[in-house]
Amino acid sequence: MAHDREVLRMIWEGQIGICFQADRDEIVGIKPEPFYLMISRLSYLPLVTDKVRKYFSRYISAEHQDGAVWFDFNGTPLRLHYPIGVLYDLLHPEEDSTPWCLTIHFSKFPEDMLVKLNSKELLESHYMSCLKEADVLKHRGLVISAMQKKDHNQLWLGLVNEKFDQFWAVNRRLMEPYGDLESFKNIPLRIYTDDDFTYTQKLISPISVGGQKKSLADLMAELSTPVRRAVGCRTHGIDLHEETQLQWMSEHLSYPDNFLHLSVDYKDV
Amino acid sequence: MGDLSWKDFLSQAKQFLEISQKLGDNWILEQKDSNEPNTYLKCSQKIKCRGGKDNSAELVSVEYHVVFSVSYQVPMLFFQAHRSDGSLLDVEATWRMFMPESKASDLHQILTQMDHPVLFRPFMALHPCRTAEVLKQFGKPSCNQVLTFISLYGPHVQLHLQNAYGLSQEYT
């Protein structure tokens, strides 16, 4: 539907204002001015921060020039393989509308906490493995495995170059139920409840036992236990209405890795 | 997608553990909590590897975890390798030490660093895309897919089970 395409477009164009600042322990000489940038919610920090790295690398010592770059927010290292919108929604206080202040580092990469993604190839490999995982959940992996290498490349390049039409020309096939089915087999989901980046995965069918299309309310019921009730859910920075259908959410509110990254609020009963 | 449910994984992991204990092997079952997939098999070993940048032999401590994949419904093999000085082997060093014959472009789809699904810390992992297919290729269905999985996938990353595991008649 035309209206739904507008939703895809708005999701695609979501941006976050970020203020990058230097790690004062790494600076040699004069402290550099912060670097402000509008960044796509759907992308990954390593893909969009070349300019930032070049800017700050002029202020650090020669020995750290080739160090693995990483970022933190208030002391929390940021996962380079999580979409930027997911990191922001988990960490940035909702009531604060100022730019998100991140610190860039060129040394002391926290190897015990962060997956190191030194090259674009490693990040691409991670992205492709997410797509495969999502497709295994949706279509038993049949759609992604039927694609050619050039289709995979087009998805990746569409994301890297922020080209909506290029990306969706291929992603459309991943977002349709297979054959004559009406829905996906399972919904690719990652459910976050804390700000520590851990998530839960469950096999969630978009169709109820009685054959009805499940809504977000049904998902929250499945996630609830006798002691803890799921009461709210957000993604892409918006609160979702509980009557929204899961199949529709998966088709329209997923990130380019084809996962719904949902933050769920719980209340103790 | 595999056909191993979480409950099946748990019961087969426990069976595997029993065999390990009988054989005096050193596998243990780690349980973070009772939620899926927060129980996994773990073992450690030291191996001598050639593959440093100067191709010298090096003693490396490896910790292996067999974790259930919710999405793929199969076991997955994760590991972390540390040098004797405690430093973690990075991706390139791990590739050189564990899969020296493979091409870099292939390795991006075979063995990469990713978050451990229970611990959410970086571990090397063999990609699970074809595990279900491989496990199904056995003419007779495996009575313990966890054992079959470790037997098949472990050797690719220097994890070898004693032959005696295969002689436990009630489980194979």
Is there a cis peptide before residue B37, judged by omega within 30 degrees of 0? yes
3-state secondary structure (DSSP) of residue A53? helix
The residue of chain A nearest to residue B89, with distances taken between CA atoms, is A111
What is the pLDDT, as a whole number, of residue B168?
Answer: 65
Whether residues A133 and B70 touch (CB distance < 8 A) is answered with no
Q: Which of residues 66 through 95 in chain B touch A, CB cutoff 8 A?
A: 70-73, 88, 90-91
CA A257/CA A127 separation, integer angstroms = 6
- Residue of B3, B8, B71 to mutate, interface with A, max A Cβ within 10 Å: B71
Share of chain A above pLDDT 90, in %: 67
My answer on whether A155 and A194 are in the same domain is yes
Site of tokens 């693995």: A68
CB-based contact B63:B42 (threshold 8 Å): yes
Task: Break chain B into its structural domains and give their ranges.
Answer: 6-157
CB-based contact A14:A237 (threshold 8 Å): yes
Is B143 known to be catalytic? no
My answer on whether A43 and A134 are in the same domain is no
Q: How many CB pairs under 8 A join A and B?
A: 61
Of A57, A79, A105, the one marking the end of a domain is A105
Q: Which residues in chain B are contacts of A128 at CB distance < 8 A? A: 109
Mean pLDDT of chain A: 91
Question: Over 60: is that where the pLDDT of B170 sits?
Answer: no
Question: Over 50: is that where the pLDDT of A221 sits?
Answer: yes
In which domain, by residue range, is A162 found?
A: 121-268
Q: Which residues in chain B are contacts of A141 at CB distance < 8 A? A: 1, 129
Residue A115 forms part of a structural domain: no
CA B110/CA A239 separation, integer angstroms = 38
CA distance A177 to chain B (A): 17
Q: Which of B38, B2, B12 is nearest to B129 (CA)?
A: B2
CB-based contact B74:B4 (threshold 8 Å): yes
How far separated are the first and last CA of chain A, in Å rounded? Answer: 40
* Band of pLDDT at residue B172, cut at 50, 70 and 90: very low
What is the pLDDT, as a whole number, of residue A259?
Answer: 98
* HSE value, Cβ hemisphere, 13 Å, CA-based, for A142: 9
Crossing angle for the helix pair B145-153 and B6-22, nearest 10 degrees?
70
Q: What is the CATH number of the domain that holds A208?
A: 3.10.20.90
Instruction: Tell me the two tokens of residue A27.
Output: 């600076």
Residue B108 in contact with partner chain A when CB distance is under 8 A: yes
What is the pLDDT, as a whole number, of residue B54?
Answer: 66
My answer on whether A225 and A95 are in the same domain is no
| pLDDT tens digit sequence for A159-173 | 999 999 989 999 988
In CATH, B6-157 is 3.30.1460.50: yes
| pLDDT tens digit sequence for A26-41 | 988 888 999 999 989 9
Of A76, A105, A134, the one marking the end of a domain is A105
Q: Which of B80, B52, B108, B82 is nearest to A118 (CA)?
A: B108
Question: Over 60: is that where the pLDDT of A140 sits?
Answer: yes
My answer on whether A246 and A129 are in the same domain is yes
Of A50, A71, A105, the one marking the end of a domain is A105
Q: Which residues in chain A are contacts of B88 at CB distance < 8 A? A: 111-112
Q: Which of A261, A42, A3 is nearest to A171 (CA)?
A: A42
CB-based contact A184:A250 (threshold 8 Å): yes
My answer on whether A135 and A193 are in the same domain is yes
Domain count of the fold of chain A = 2
CA distances from B75 to A6, B35, B132, B141 (A): 40, 16, 9, 16
Q: Which of A86-90, A126-130, A249-253, B91-95 has the lowest mean pLDDT?
A: B91-95
Of B35, B91, B121, the CB nearest to A122: B91
| DSSP letter for each residue of B24-43 | T---EEEES-SSTT-EEEEE
What is the pLDDT, as a whole number, of residue B100?
Answer: 87
CA distance A219 to chain B (A): 17
| pLDDT tens digit sequence for A81-111 | 999 999 999 998 766 778 999 999 999 899 8
Question: Over 60: is that where the pLDDT of B171 sits?
Answer: no
What is the pLDDT, as a whole number, of residue A136?
Answer: 95
CA B99/CA B108 separation, integer angstroms = 12
What is the pLDDT, as a whole number, of residue A2?
Answer: 67
My answer on whether A247 and A127 are in the same domain is yes
Residue B6 in contact with partner chain A when CB distance is under 8 A: no
What is the pLDDT, as a whole number, of residue B134?
Answer: 87
